[in-house]
Amino acid sequence: MQHYAAIKERLAAGSETAIVGVDDSWCAQLADRLERAGRHVIRISKRLPLTDGYFADGTDLMEAVHGRYSRVAFLEGIGSLRGQHNAQNALAALAAGLKVGLELGEIQSGLESFPGLAHRMEQVGRKGHVLFINDSK
């Protein structure tokens, strides 16, 4: 994990803004170091409510500003974005989209139209009420 966090840190070193998932201690520390180095850090979490940043609350994607929360997007009913890892990816896309000036409606439309990736919570079939998912990656 330390190697993974070091790679992320090198990627963000030359950037003005870094979007960092802070669900593990390595990346939470990375976010703190980047901030101390003068970078603008946008924190995201698939598990933890944040004081500032974006986090998932079930299927709701929440924005936190000084400890005040508001729902800004949702994943409910989007089959291609099942699971916590997809929630984290959606949060990163949300943060990046807002940073470059997209409107919330545009971001929600993008989430809803995302086809998903092969082998990543991919719906491969249905028989009656049973849904078959390929998550082999």
- 35: tokens are 């901030």
- What pTM, to 2 d.p., does this model score? 0.87
Q: What is the mean pLDDT of residues 42-68?
A: 98
CA-CA-CA-CA dihedral for 60, 20, 26, 38, to nearest 10:
-140
Residue 71 has a pLDDT of 98
What contacts 135, CB < 8 A, 6 or more positions away?
83, 119, 120, 121, 122
Residue 66 has a pLDDT of 98
Q: Is the pLDDT of residue 2 over 90?
A: no
Domains of the chain in sequence order: 2-134 (3.40.1190.10)
Q: What is the mean pLDDT of residues 88-96?
A: 97
Residue 7 has a pLDDT of 86
pLDDT in tens, 93-112: 999 999 999 999 999 999 99
What contacts 30, CB < 8 A, 6 or more positions away?
5, 8, 9, 12, 20
Q: How high is the mean pLDDT of the chain?
A: 92
User: pLDDT confidence of 136, banded at 50, 70, 90?
Assistant: confident
pLDDT in tens, 17-54: 999 999 999 999 999 999 999 999 999 999 999 999 99
